[in-house]
Amino acid sequence: MYNPGDVISFHSNEAGKRKYHLCVSIGGYYLFLNSPKAIQRATDFKLDGGYVPYLPPTAEGYSIVSCSFVMLKSSVELQRSKAIKLGVIPKPVMLKLFEFIEACEAIEGQIKHRILSELGDWL
């Protein structure tokens, strides 16, 4: 299992291809880590490119942590999808993401509570 702040690459059944993900809880919750899109959503957390130098750079200079879709992955699922840890997001940035998730209305109540509880314990 991975730790909060770990950036993981694995084949995502939800997207149908290998994607980047951010671990946001010790219980196995992950968010998509994407390149910016033309239309930014209120559920998108901007992550400065300097914090993810191991990802391909974007023209905008930042990546997006998408909080609109939360995935729960077990160790077995991650192993099957050939998960690879690429790096770690610093704790001060994860604290800002914690605050963003706390205010994000797109994440369902019980899932949000679990993420915030586990992420808060880790921080």
For the chain, the structural domain boundaries read 6-122
Q: What's the one-letter identity of residue 99?
A: E
The Cα–Cα gap between 94 and 74 comes to 22
The Cα–Cα gap between 73 and 31 comes to 11
Average of per-residue pLDDT values in the chain: 91
Q: Which pair of structure tokens corresponds to residue 38?
A: 């033309």
Q: Using one digit for the tens of pLDDT, what is the confidence trace for 66-100?
A: 998 999 999 999 999 999 999 999 999 999 999 99
Q: What is the 3-state secondary structure (H, E, C) of 9-53?
A: EEEECCCCEEEEEEECCCCCEEEEEECCCCCCCCCEEEEEHHHCC
Residue 81: strand, helix, or coil: coil
Report the DSSP beta bridge partners of residue 65: 33, 45
Report the DSSP beta bridge partners of residue 47: 63
Q: Which fold has domain 6-122?
A: SH3 type barrels. (2.30.30)
pTM: 0.91
| Residue for token pair 């994407």 | 34
The Cα–Cα gap between 91 and 96 comes to 9
Q: Using one digit for the tens of pLDDT, what is the confidence trace for 95-111?
A: 999 999 999 888 888 98
